């Protein structure tokens, strides 16, 4: 990378920053970049984001903080993650829950919806809300109830609504993957204080088509 990453917050226990598309969320990706930029060595990954996706991420800076935050960001934990995505077409319902059985093929690094439980298959569930529609494209906010590989991408794609730019899962649009980690909320691993961080996606296609909606969303977001 030629530019420093954006740091939203840092203390002795954690650092919150913006991941750029194309970077791995684990070593040798973003943690290495953070370490070089901040001149620190111990950086622990407590949640993940697809390489092609971007947005808000948080890392622990001590083993004790990492243990606490890993519990918080587990499916049974109390951390809240909100994503924004631009999908093709229109959803039938303005709000809903999508539940599927997913199988991840590690050799192809691709997930599939399947119709029955078997070895390697796991249930995946998410909630979505439609925020706006423009030119046969829809901006949705997403909350995950489970954390499966490529979950948001494959669950919408399986309903013929691939995320824009997601050629792996059926999009024909040439743009960066339209998946943005918009906000994180979790308890501080040392003080217990509830922290909330949010950051809007860039003002570029396809996000710029929904600029006013995203701006209003950001104005209403409480950020630590």
Catalytic residue annotation: 50
Radius of gyration of the chain (CA): 17
SS (H, E, C) the chain: CCCCCCEEEECCCEEEEEECCCCCCCCCCHHHHHHHHHCCCCCEECCCCCCCCEEEEEEECCHHHHHHHHHHCCCCCCCEEEEEEEEECCCCCCEEEEEEEEEEECCCCEEEEECCCCCCEEEEEEEEEEEEEECCEEEEEEEECCCCCCHHHHHHHCCCCCECCCHHHCCCCCCCCCEEEEEEEEECCCCCCEEEEECCCCCCCCHHHHHHHHHHHHHHCCCC
**Are 140 and 91 within 8 A, CB to CB?**
yes
Cβ neighbors of 133 (< 8 A, separation 6 or more) are 90, 139
């Amino acid at each position: 990378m030629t530019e420093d990453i954006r740091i939203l917050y840092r203390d002795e226990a954690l650092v919150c920053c913006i991941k750029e598309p194309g970077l791995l969320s684990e070593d040798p990706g973003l943690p290495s970049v953070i370490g070089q930029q901040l001149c620190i060595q111990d950086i622990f990954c407590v949640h993940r984001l697809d390489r092609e996706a971007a947005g808000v991420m948080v890392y622990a800076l001590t083993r004790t903080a990492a243990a606490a935050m890993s519990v918080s960001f587990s499916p049974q934990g109390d951390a809240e993650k909100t994503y924004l995505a631009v999908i093709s077409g229109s959803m039938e319902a303005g709000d809903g829950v999508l539940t599927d059985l997913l199988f991840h093929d590690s050799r192809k690094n691709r997930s599939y919806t399947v119709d029955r439980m078997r070895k390697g298959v796991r249930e995946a569930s998410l909630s979505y809300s439609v925020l706006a529609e423009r030119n046969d494209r829809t901006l949705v906010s997403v909350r995950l109830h489970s954390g499966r590989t490529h979950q948001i991408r494959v669950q919408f794609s399986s309903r013929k609504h691939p995320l824009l730019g997601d050629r792996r899962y059926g999009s024909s649009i040439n743009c960066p993957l339209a998946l943005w980690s918009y906000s994180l909320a979790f308890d501080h691993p040392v003080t217990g204080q509830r922290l909330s961080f949010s950051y809007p996606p860039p003002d570029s296609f396809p996000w710029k088509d929904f600029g006013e909606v995203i701006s209003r969303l950001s104005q209403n977001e409480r950020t630590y």
